């Protein structure tokens, strides 16, 4: 541990002994008190500083084309392109994707991807992006990447969890020690600083800087973080200086407590933002808890604005949550798992390093029409993946295309009123007719005819979690 990290840890211990709440704003002192407040009263936050961003100001237009209960096929018009939803957003954390170029995404007809505020602020730097690449329209990140589509930037809030050992949280914000080896810089991210960085970056959608903790944390910590996130959104709105060019999305926190999630959604709705996200999931919770939080939030989120579920990217999860009403998804899983030789298929995850592929001359997924599946076999990848880095890039290409196309197919089934037929085809292949109960319960709540599953249910949800843990071995 470096000297800077040691000092930061000492500061963290001292801060843990002190309140990080403004003295004029009292937080609940117990889980029971919090539950009572969440059910009966608004959270104890300050009144919104800027409660509305008028729709005529926002450069986002959202049009619902067709619906299936809460699920919808929509069009989201942003400054650089119109995005059809539901949609998966590939993740280029530092303004680039490992092994892929912007033109690769263009060939997939992808026009919305994600980058990260914290990482771009460190390298190459948001002020550099603005001054060297911004131009008169301040399109820094687009010009830097030579990317014609839209970009969403995460605010840096997730790094509060992922870089917990290198950060100290306070009411003002979060101080980080750079994670880069040999770099002892400190960066203070606050709602104001995150907005400044994202304004410099020039993304089409900016995420609010929120207080992120794991969903399995204790209830008092979750309540405090949720309350602070609502205070911080008002600071974000006030600091956002390019409301006519960039869209600010709020993030709904609240852990796994459904009452707190409801309260957080209703409070966030008051800000009348261009869109909203569900945060704080995919952090170790059970699948049963996971889908119920998504369902609770989408039920109360505005019907005329996009709904974004952060950090979720398993194919089954995307379909289930889109049917519960989610429009947007992102996750690094598609490319990260590709680096281990694992590919997405209609019948589940396929480990291309396995010897069973040596004499298998089928495409990765026979029903996929991506350029990789049109030209290369499973055998090819088995024989080259440890020798040719380009093979990993090709699997990444396939995985991203697979998720993009999966949601396009679901979208078309909503338009064609064939959602039940889509679900029978997709889920029967994914699970070989042995369906997890959480999937059955979630689809039933979404209004899907689940009679095709009823005789083949299994309750061993841990088997699903083990599957996800094993695929990258």
Just list the catalytic residues: 154, 330
CA gap 231, 473 in Å, rounded: 42
Helix (H, G, I), strand (E, B) or coil at 403: helix
Q: Which residues are CB-contacts of 260 (< 8 A; sequence separation ≥ 6)? A: 34, 38, 222, 223, 226, 254
52 backbone dihedrals φ, ψ, rounded to 5°: -135, 140
CA gap 157, 95 in Å, rounded: 17
Helix (H, G, I), strand (E, B) or coil at 160: helix
CA gap 48, 30 in Å, rounded: 25
Q: Count other C-beta atoms under 10 Å from residue 392's C-beta.
A: 20
CA gap 73, 290 in Å, rounded: 23
Nearest-10 Cα torsion for 417, 422, 423, 425 = 150
Helix locations, 41-125, DSSP H: 102-107, 117-122
How far is CA 464 from each of CA 309, 328, 391, 461, 467, rounded to the nearest angstrom?
20, 23, 28, 5, 5
How far is CA 304 from each of CA 61, 242, 270, 298, 318, rounded to the nearest angstrom?
9, 22, 14, 12, 21
- What is the radius of gyration, based on Cα positions, of the chain? 22
Spatial contact of 137 and 79, defined as CB atoms under 8 Å apart: no
CA gap 61, 64 in Å, rounded: 10
Q: Which of 254, 256, 257 has its CA nearest to residue 277? A: 254
Compute the Cα dihedral for 110, 114, 120, 121 and give only its sign: positive
Antiparallel, parallel or unpaired: β 435-436 and 457-458: parallel
Helix locations, 17-110, DSSP H: 31-40, 102-107
Q: Count other C-beta atoms under 10 Å from residue 185's C-beta.
A: 10
């Amino acid at each position: 541990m470096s000297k800077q990290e040691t000092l930061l840890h000492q500061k963290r211990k001292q801060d843990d002994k002190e309140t990080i709440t403004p003295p004029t704003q009292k937080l609940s002192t117990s889980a029971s008190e919090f539950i009572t407040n969440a059910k009966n009263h608004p959270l104890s936050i300050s009144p919104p500083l800027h409660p509305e961003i008028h729709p005529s100001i926002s450069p986002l237009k959202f049009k619902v084309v067709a619906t299936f209960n809460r699920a919808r096929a929509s069009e989201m018009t942003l400054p650089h392109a119109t995005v059809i939803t539901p949609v998966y957003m590939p993740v280029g954390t530092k303004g680039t994707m490992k092994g892929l170029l912007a033109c690769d995404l263009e060939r997939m007809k992808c026009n919305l991807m994600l980058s990260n505020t914290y990482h771009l602020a460190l390298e190459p730097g948001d002020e550099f992006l603005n001054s060297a690449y911004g131009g008169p329209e301040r399109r820094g990140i687009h010009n830097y990447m030579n990317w014609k589509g839209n970009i969403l930037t995460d605010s840096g809030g997730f790094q509060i969890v992922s870089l917990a050992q290198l950060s100290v949280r306070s009411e003002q914000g979060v101080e980080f020690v750079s994670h880069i080896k040999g770099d002892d810089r400190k960066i203070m991210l606050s709602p104001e600083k995150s907005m400044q960085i994202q304004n410099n970056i020039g993304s089409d959608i900016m995420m609010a800087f929120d207080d992120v903790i794991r969903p399995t944390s204790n209830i008092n910590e979750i309540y405090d973080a949720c309350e602070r996130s609502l205070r911080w959104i008002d600071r974000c709105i006030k600091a956002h200086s390019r409301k006519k060019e960039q869209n600010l999305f709020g993030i709904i926190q609240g852990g796994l407590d459904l009452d707190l999630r409801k309260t957080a959604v209703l409070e966030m709705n008051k800000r009348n933002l261009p869109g909203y996200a569900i945060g704080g999931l995919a952090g170790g919770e059970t699948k049963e808890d996971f889908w119920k939080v998504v369902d609770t939030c989408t039920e109360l989120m505005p019907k005329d604005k996009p709904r974004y579920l952060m950090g979720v990217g398993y194919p089954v999860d995307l379909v289930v949550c889109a049917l519960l009403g989610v429009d947007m998804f992102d996750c690094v899983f598609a490319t990260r798992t590709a680096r281990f030789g694992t590919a997405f298929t209609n019948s589940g995850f396929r480990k291309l390093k396995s010897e069973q592929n040596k004499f298998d001359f089928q495409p990765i997924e026979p029903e996929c029409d991506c350029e990789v599946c049109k030209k290369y076999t499973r055998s090819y990848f088995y024989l080259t993946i440890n020798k040719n880095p380009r093979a990993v890039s090709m699997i990444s290409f396939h995985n991203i295309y697979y998720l993009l196309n999966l949601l396009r197919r679901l979208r078309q089934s909503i338009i064609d009123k064939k959602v039940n037929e889509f679900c029978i085809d997709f889920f029967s292949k994914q699970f070989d007719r042995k369906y997890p109960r959480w999937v059955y319960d979630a689809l039933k709540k979404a209004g899907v005819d689940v009679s095709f599953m009823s005789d083949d249910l299994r309750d061993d949800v841990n088997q699903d979690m083990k599957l996800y843990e094993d695929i990258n071995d």
